[in-house]
A and B are shown apart, each in its own frame.
Chain A
Amino acid sequence: MSTQRTKTKTDGGDGERPAGDEDVLELGGRTFRSRLIAGTGKYPDPETRLAALRASGAEMVTVAVRRVDLDASDDASILGQLGGDEFFLLPNTAGCTTAEEAVRYARLGREAGVGDWVKLEVVGDDETLLPDVSETLEAAERLVDEGFEVLAYTNDDLVTALRLQEIGVTAVMPLASPIGSGLGLLNPVNVRILKRRLDVPVIVDAGVGTASDACETMEQGVDGILMNTALAEADDPVRMAGAMRRAVEAGRMAYLAGRMPSREYAVPSSPREGTLD
């Protein structure tokens, strides 16, 4: 019942596009046609990265803020390649472990001239890279106060997600499983609960490993997926990006289409009537 209530109603589902032209992702006053947000780290080389990002259909891509290597002769900045109009850049606060650091990184990212959006990520444990909830909440509060559009990486805990929404974040981004693990969606129930209870967009961030993970995640009704390692560490990142684009669309389409009930008994697909004696 509750999944029906939160379902996006569109009339445009024609079997070709996920839901016609009306099914778009609205986020912080912007409209995105793609529900896939791609990270830009860990690709074998910049050319593969660009080709994979294009194949993924992503309009929004994340970037990290780091020190310039002052002794390197080549320009490692990503702005040269991705700084044009093709992609909307979302700076992250990856590497931060305190609210203080996250606010500092967010300000540096804003200063680089791509607007006041930030993917807030405050990690509390080195091995699992699980989020530090209290630092995330504090950072979110300060950044929202400073006028940032905050997309907050968090765990799949409803109470934290509700607090983030209360603070005024632009999107709540629960993990499917730990960052870079490729374990897929570990707790679909929690993610569905989040989606059912929140009014702000829910974008699953981290953990998808392959296309079926992305599809299954989108089938829960979430608004989008942010992925990086699944693309960058595939043997063929460009082909995987194409698979992911289709999987995100397929999952979205299946969600909007409304799946059949699952039953623990068989129902024949061919009529029982008219069989020969």
Chain B
Amino acid sequence: MSEATASDEIEVTLNGEARGVPAGLSLTGLLEHLDQDPAAVVVERNREIVRGDDRDETEVRAGDEIEIVHFVGGG
């Protein structure tokens, strides 16, 4: 792995799984990177819900635990 690649990617825990994502993304950028509709999901970073407006300013950092959830069928 080259140094350039290493500095371009950080590892986070995304929905319970370790995953490399580009460094320097905001949460909004992460959702875009993951092809997720920002209006259809709720995002939690390190157990704190991050609301729509704050997602732009919240940078994803190495080691973050991020949950992206939505509604599914249930009783």
Given the interface pairs A67-B16, A70-B14, A70-B15, the reply to whether A91 lies near B71 with Cβ below 8 Å is yes
Given the interface pairs A77-B40, A107-B49, the reply to whether A68 lies near B70 with Cβ below 8 Å is yes
B residues near A65, Cβ cutoff 8 Å: 42, 69-72
B residues near A91, Cβ cutoff 8 Å: 71
Kindly state whether residue A177 has any CB partner on chain B within 8 Å: no
On whether the beta carbons of A64 and B73 are closer than 8 Å, the reply is yes
Number of A residues with CB within 8 Å of any CB on chain B: 37
On whether the beta carbons of A112 and B71 are closer than 8 Å, the reply is yes
On whether the beta carbons of A43 and B75 are closer than 8 Å, the reply is no
B19 CB to nearest A CB, Å: 8
A75 to B72, CA, bound (A): 10
On whether the beta carbons of B74 and A77 are closer than 8 Å, the reply is no
A52 CB to nearest B CB, Å: 11
A31 to B43, CA, bound (A): 32
* CB<8 Å pairs between A and B, sample of 5: A63-B74, A64-B73, A68-B69, A94-B75, A109-B71
On whether the beta carbons of A79 and B75 are closer than 8 Å, the reply is no
A130 CB to nearest B CB, Å: 15
On whether the beta carbons of B73 and A78 are closer than 8 Å, the reply is yes
Task: Apart from A64-B73, A92-B75, list 10 A-B contacts with CB within 8 A.
Answer: A41-B72, A63-B73, A63-B74, A64-B74, A66-B72, A68-B36, A70-B36, A108-B69, A109-B71, A112-B71
Interface string of B31-50 (1 = CB under 8 A from A): 00010110011101001010
B residues near A24, Cβ cutoff 8 Å: none
A115 to B42, CA, bound (A): 14
A227 to B75, CA, bound (A): 7
The 10 A-B residue pairs with the shortest CB-CB distance, nearest first, are: A64-B74, A39-B75, A228-B75, A40-B73, A41-B73, A63-B71, A77-B70, A67-B15, A111-B42, A41-B74
On whether the beta carbons of B40 and A42 are closer than 8 Å, the reply is no
Interface string of A120-147 (1 = CB under 8 A from B): 0000000000000000000000000000
On whether the beta carbons of A66 and B75 are closer than 8 Å, the reply is no
Kindly state whether residue A170 has any CB partner on chain B within 8 Å: no
Q: Pick the contact of B15 from A49, A68, A111, A227 — CB < 8 Å?
A: A68
B28 CB to nearest A CB, Å: 15
A143 CB to nearest B CB, Å: 15
A66 to B37, CA, bound (A): 15
Kindly state whether residue A229 has any CB partner on chain B within 8 Å: yes
Closest to A111 in B: B42
B41 CB to nearest A CB, Å: 6
Kindly state whether residue B68 has any CB partner on chain A within 8 Å: yes
Kindly state whether residue B11 has any CB partner on chain A within 8 Å: no
Kindly state whether residue A76 has any CB partner on chain B within 8 Å: yes
On whether the beta carbons of B68 and A70 are closer than 8 Å, the reply is yes
Interface string of A49-83 (1 = CB under 8 A from B): 10000000000001111111010000111111000
